[in-house]
Structure 1
Amino acid sequence: MTHQKLTMVASLFALALYLMWSTPALAERPASLENGLSLTLQSEVLKEPRTLWVRLPEGYDDPNSDPARYPVVYLLDAESNFTYFTGLVDRLSRGPYAFMPEVIVVGIVNTDRTRDLTPTVAKSALPPGRSGGRKDQPTGGNALFFKFIQEEVMPAVAARFRTDDYRVLVGHSFGGITALNALLNHNELFNAYLVHDPSLWWDDKAILKQYQQLEAVDFKQRRLYLSQVDESEQAGQRDHYDAIKAFEQLLRQAQFKGLAFEYQQFQNEDHGTIPLVGNNYGLRYVFDGYRINIKAVAKDPGLIERTYAQLSQKLGHTFKPSEAYLNRVGQYLLGTGDLAEAHKYLQQNLLTHPNSPQANQSMADYYTKAKDEAQAQKYQAKAKALGYKGKAK
């Protein structure tokens, strides 16, 4: 093939990528979030353009660290939940006492909520006080919606961002029954599910009945967090309340293989506000065991290794301490004067990330504390050569 043809092929490939993902001018940011991206995907499955809102972790583009890969949280009803949810994730994943790892949040914006977020075509009349949209509105689109996520959203997100394969799905109300449908019938898509006040009354409790009819099933190390409002908040909507309670009782009695779950009921919340508190507790549940008391590390040298090994076994996915976390531990130990333990973690970080500016700079900090100026200058020079942007300590 000639050079001219190769150039043309490359240009066509670049054009195809551009057409697949179109980013608005200046990377339009949803709400006022600093690193939120609004991306449009032309869906062949759904035959329509779909918008994704993406929030990257604070350290995603840190020039001082090696590029890392991140779990992905897929958030339904993004237009209602994205702003507060990403703020919550930022807080829970920040600092030396983080409750969870840094993650990429992908919010899926609705075009036809009732169509996409219902598992079945409603065959029976809606209960009193219930609304499923217009009488002629399509329902039961979960199957196509899951196909859209699996064949278009996930590959596109993985191609554009540095993801790993641990995935969480968050859904509320119709999004909640969608998540429960995914857990049961598309178990391979997600590792954990946050489900808030799900509309299990839908279509004469169709999804609840599917769970009730299960005989032998292995959920393969999945985690489910289920939240529900207090009974007093469901006046006139007993079908909604009773269906969720029946599901909670089923989970306790059936003890499904490979499914860990937690259920919480909240007073003083209603159907609209429960995700605000439920997501806080749900994320903590999914990543329970992640948080480490950094002050205990010096007294328990194997604490970090043991914690991550136990977490990985529980979640069925390999989790490792991030470069930023090990650096933070090393710097903390330097500050306490425990040079031996500090060297252990900073050296581990450097071996894992030899071309990281920050890892080299932190090793220079160690040798400065150890009063070995020759080694300190060596690592500081390497950090600078690698493009260290911080202030030399």
Structure 2
Amino acid sequence: MTLVKLLTAICLLLSLSATAQFKPAETIRIDSKYFHDQRDITVLLPQGYESAPGRTYKVVYLFDAQNSTFTNTLMAVGNYLSTFSSTFISPYIIVGIKTKNRQYEFLPENHTQQPYRDYFPKVKLGGADTLLAFLQKEVIPEVNKRFRTNHYNVAIGHSLGATFAIYSLMHAPQLFNAVIAISPNLYYDEEQLLKAWKHRWSTLSLNRKMLYVMYSQEGKLESRFFPANEKLRAFLAKNRKPGFHSKVEYLPDTDHGLTPLMGIPRGLMELNRQLVIDETVEGFYAKDDPQFLEKLKQFYAQQSEKTGLRLPTAEDINHIAYNLANSGKIAEAIRVAAWAVALYPQDANAFDTQGELLQRDKQPTAAKAAYQQGLQLVERQRDLLDTATHNSLKRGFERRLSAL
């Protein structure tokens, strides 16, 4: 492992404590009729969830959440990419899926004797379809019922969790819009999943889906999984499917225990490239283009069609407006802020941003109107907000108005 990668891993974990971007976890207990058992899932909401009742969020389903290290890593990555990185990533809800028997829950039924040699004789296997049913019928509906989701679901798994994530894309593609699979075990059962992937390829419905796979060759497990992952990379490079975005990435000098630290941020950034402004359009921050807003709208219309997600999100467009303003393009920033208000009239922060940018541009009358609209919206949303949040938002707009 190189020094740069080691420092990157350390920085990701340290960033967890630098700025809290997620609220304390809450546990939801599900009496599962599929597992005939009580199952706990862990839910972490992004900071600001309560103060923006008009916003909805994509959901990242993280497998192996019984291991807090994976949850902490995902939180750290979210903190870094949303706070310290130039690559902005909009907030997401984390749902941790805990497993009690990894070999059983993550793997389909075996057809050969190979797994018994790899694990141990009489190991219990073949519960992947049970986990799929648990997710489809019990977990995801419960999460959508309780929280403001936009029904864009991302699966993240490592090792056998990654194997299951890829399995889900084949057998229940409606569950996840994007899959991030780190060091998957496609070697399992004499490459059962890889063979099935190739056999089912022509009939797989993967429109508006994304698959990111990362693997290495360092250490015993990565070396064992390497040939099958190389075959997957070669197959996807040769076979394209309309509407399906895939990237399979080999990362050298990284062992099995460290691939999540490298793969999770890389996978989220690859997903983010499908959802947010690209470098070509973003270059306008440094270069004048009178058609910028029209190009921006066209770009997001195309990405919305590709992903099935309403884009840009409220957070994304707010980020763009401030980037423009901070690049000295205040007039363009104000135009983007007006677009944000038109797209998200139930988002109080859109009015706050619009007012602030108008105030910067020495337009106090227009700024006042924006702040007043924001204040009125907060009052209309009183029943959707807890008392402390409502009062905080209200005081914020009142201070803005008194400062004019």
- Give the TM-score category using the shorter length: 0.7 to 0.9
Q: Would you say how many aligned residue pairs link Structure 1 and Structure 2? A: 355
**Displacement of 1:186:** 1.3
Within a 5 Å distance, the mapping from 1:106-121 to structure 2 comes to 106-121=95-110
Corresponding position of 1:174 = 160
Structure 1 or 2: more helix by fraction: 2
Corresponding position of 2:173 = 187
* Residue 59 to residue 321, structure 1, CA distance change in 2 (3 Å): farther
In structure 2, distance between residues paired with 1:151 and 1:200: 26
SS in 1 for 2:200: coil
Within a 5 Å distance, the mapping from 1:315-354 to structure 2 comes to 315=307, 317-331=308-322, 333-334=324-325, 338-354=329-345
Corresponding position of 2:385 = none
Given candidates 254, 266, 272, the residue that maps to 1:281 is 266
Amino acid at match of 2:214: S
Given candidates 49, 64, 75, the residue that maps to 2:62 is 75
Comparing 39-48 with 98-107, greater Cα deviation is found at 98-107
Amino acid at match of 1:46: F
Comparing 159-168 with 248-257, greater Cα deviation is found at 248-257
Within a 5 Å distance, the mapping from 1:188-267 to structure 2 comes to 188-214=174-200, 216-218=202-204, 219-230=206-217, 232-234=218-220, 239-256=224-241, 258-267=243-252
Amino acid at match of 1:321: P
**Displacement of 1:125:** 3.9
**Displacement of 1:33:** 6.2
For the 8 Å contact 1:38–1:54, the answer to whether it is kept is yes
**Displacement of 1:319:** 3.3
Corresponding position of 2:394 = 388
**Displacement of 1:156:** 0.1
Q: Deviations over 1:110-146 (max 9, x none)?
A: 1221111111146414375x225xx444210011110
In structure 1, distance between residues paired with 2:250 and 2:59: 26
Corresponding position of 2:119 = 131
TM-score normalized with structure 1 length: 0.79
In structure 2, distance between residues paired with 1:97 and 1:239: 36
* Residue 364 to residue 204, structure 1, CA distance change in 2 (3 Å): closer
For the 8 Å contact 1:43–1:148, the answer to whether it is kept is yes
Gaps of 5+ in 2: 1-20, 379-392
Specify the structure having the higher radius of gyration (Cα).
1
Amino acid at match of 2:119: S
SS in 2 for 1:207: helix
Corresponding position of 2:93 = 104
For the 8 Å contact 2:330–2:361, the answer to whether it is kept is yes
For the 8 Å contact 2:61–2:96, the answer to whether it is kept is yes
For the 8 Å contact 2:40–2:98, the answer to whether it is kept is yes
Within a 5 Å distance, the mapping from 1:354-393 to structure 2 comes to 354-385=345-376, 386=378, 387-390=393-396, 391-392=399-400
In structure 2, distance between residues paired with 1:204 and 1:333: 53
* Residue 183 to residue 367, structure 1, CA distance change in 2 (3 Å): closer
* Residue 91 to residue 308, structure 1, CA distance change in 2 (3 Å): farther
Comparing 265-274 with 152-161, greater Cα deviation is found at 265-274
For the 8 Å contact 1:96–1:328, the answer to whether it is kept is no
TM-score normalized with structure 2 length: 0.77
For the 8 Å contact 1:220–1:258, the answer to whether it is kept is yes
Corresponding position of 1:309 = 301
Within a 5 Å distance, the mapping from 1:48-63 to structure 2 comes to 48-61=37-50, 63=51
In structure 2, distance between residues paired with 1:200 and 1:276: 20
Gaps of 5+ in 1: 1-31
**Displacement of 1:335:** 5.5
